[in-house]
A and B are shown apart, each in its own frame.
Chain A
Amino acid sequence: MAWAPTWDMCEAEGVLALLEMCSRPPFEAARARKRPSRRVMTEQRDFAGGDDLASLLWRIASGDRPAFRTLYDAQSPRLYAVAMRITRQPALASDAMHDAFLQVWRNASQFDSARGTPESWLLSLVRYRALDIARNRGREVLRDAMPEQVDPDPDALAQLVQRREAASLHQCLERLEPERRDLVALAFVDGLSHSELAERIKMPLGTVKSWIRRSLIALRACLDGVS
């Protein structure tokens, strides 16, 4: 590669670009630097360690505050980045994180494997709270003001293709038409609503809804087939 993709470019190209281009060399130093903070997340099946997410949630459910702090330290950079992408404002992202972590503290006992993985449960708490806050407190004014300090994590992107569920998702996204694939990624990562998506890509609202529905149907069929 004679050139290096920028974050903006990766974002514009959608998730496949993120996976493929954005995980290449210029980001390797950052990758090495960040590895330790992702340890709990990526080694969650290492139950012997006792610090995997499921164990931490069990300990939190019994009122273990050090475990709560460990979980926060391990997960907050990942989750805050998600909250920032959705709310676009540090104050709102912090509110979403505060509310979500309070739910974690109070409802950790309600997590069980029927509700997904610990990782997806935590992510969902933060995303839904951030989406609620973004929708209810008028993100409109700052919609395009991307925070400059948001830092794409190439390590995460590299890992995406290594983790099995991520590989399936990657494979299935790749089968979508590029513009629909980008729409799915924009919706999930940036938390854009149907109407915000329509505005962003300058297409009629009905078309956007229809594309999202068709993408979901295609993804569902594909994910059921590969997993």
Chain B
Amino acid sequence: MSGSDGSGEPGDDAAAADPHVRAGELVLGVLTSGEAAGVRRAAMTDFDLADAIVRWEVQLAPLADAAGLLPPPAELWPRIEASVAAPQPGTAGNVVALGGASGNAGRAEAGRANDNQADDRRVGLWRGATAAALALAAVLAAVAFLPHPAAPVQIAALVPASAPAPAFLAQVGADNVVVVSAISPAAVPNNRDLELWLLPPGAAAPVSLGVLPATGRTLTLPGPQPAGTQLLVSLEPRGGSTTGQPTGPVLYGGALGRS
């Protein structure tokens, strides 16, 4: 009896926890923005949930045919074209020294080799699927050219909430310096900024680390972070959230693992 939402039908609590149900609710579009963001966040580390989301997206897609066809206004394409032509915000001015890439690659590969172990979260975001291997290859290729902090001890891939393809790579050094590097260009709408957040395990609310340029950024964390601490990227008004908490959708995120 008594679902958490007061639905009052037996078995609803179990149903609410079923990944297929949570994924289905997200894909159907019945969740509030906050609930949807919660499911997306969970899908970053819960692969059954991420898979379930993609399956619903594919299987329910034919329903959209019921919306029919409607040509968009003529001014829409020029607007898209202008945004595409506009330079990406930010420049590569915040990089530190190059070097030591082979060490990172070795650690990432070791992580992948262990990815069947549930407790090995280091690079567990990339599972054995072909696509994941391709994503990993892309990351390794990127890592070879990435700046990184001295003696990296933590690494996280921040992936789009809707699917497992890395967007940013975050490397945390023993000196608490974190280098967040763009692996593929992030989509930032006009008049919006990305904002980086730190969410320690068990914390009630994330702490802002400031605006994150689409090209990445280097910053210093407030102190050593436990494994499982999440780095999240939300879409905010230009200049960042004014409330101290994320106000837009969480687009990317990943948990720090010990390297």
Which residues of A come within 8 Å of B, CB atoms?
15, 18, 34, 37-38, 65, 68-69, 72, 76-78, 80-82, 84-86, 90, 93-94, 97-99, 101-103, 105-107, 109-110, 112-117, 119-121, 123-125, 127-128, 131-132, 135-136, 149-153, 156-157, 159-160, 163, 165-166, 168-170, 184-185, 187-189, 191-194, 197, 205-207, 209-210, 212-214, 216-217, 219-220, 223, 227
Contact = CB atoms under 8 A, between A and B. Distances in A.
A193 B26 CA distance: 10
20 contacts: A15-B66, A81-B67, A86-B29, A102-B83, A102-B189, A105-B84, A106-B187, A124-B162, A132-B249, A136-B33, A150-B68, A157-B65, A189-B67, A194-B31, A205-B7, A206-B3, A209-B3, A212-B25, A217-B15, A217-B18
B117 interface: no
A213 B12 CA distance: 8
A193 B29 contact: yes
A209 B28 contact: no
Contact of A107 (B20, B60, B131, B184): B184
A135 to B, nearest CB: 5
A165 B71 contact: no
Given A112-B134, A194-B30, A157 B66 contact: yes
A149 B79 contact: no
Interface of B: 3, 5-9, 12, 15-16, 18, 20-21, 24-25, 27-33, 36, 54, 57-73, 75-77, 79-80, 83-84, 129-132, 134-135, 160, 162-165, 167, 184-187, 189, 249
Contact of A193 (B7, B15, B30, B58): B30
- Interface pairs A-B: 9 shortest CB-CB: A206-B7, A114-B131, A156-B65, A166-B62, A216-B24, A81-B70, A153-B68, A110-B165, A80-B72
A54 to B, nearest CB: 13
A41 to B, nearest CB: 10
A193 B76 contact: no
A72 B77 CA distance: 8
Nearest to B51: A114
Contacts of B29: 86, 127, 131, 187-188, 191-193
A217 B20 contact: yes
Given A78-B64, A168-B59, 11 more contacts: A15-B66, A69-B77, A97-B76, A169-B60, A169-B62, A188-B29, A205-B5, A206-B8, A210-B7, A210-B15, A217-B20
A129 to B, nearest CB: 9
A199 to B, nearest CB: 13
Contact of A123 (B8, B12, B61): B61
B184 A110 contact: yes
A117 B61 contact: yes
A171 to B, nearest CB: 12
Most buried by B among A68, A101, A132, A165: A101
Contact of A131 (B36, B63, B131, B160): B36
Contacts of B165: 107, 110, 112, 115
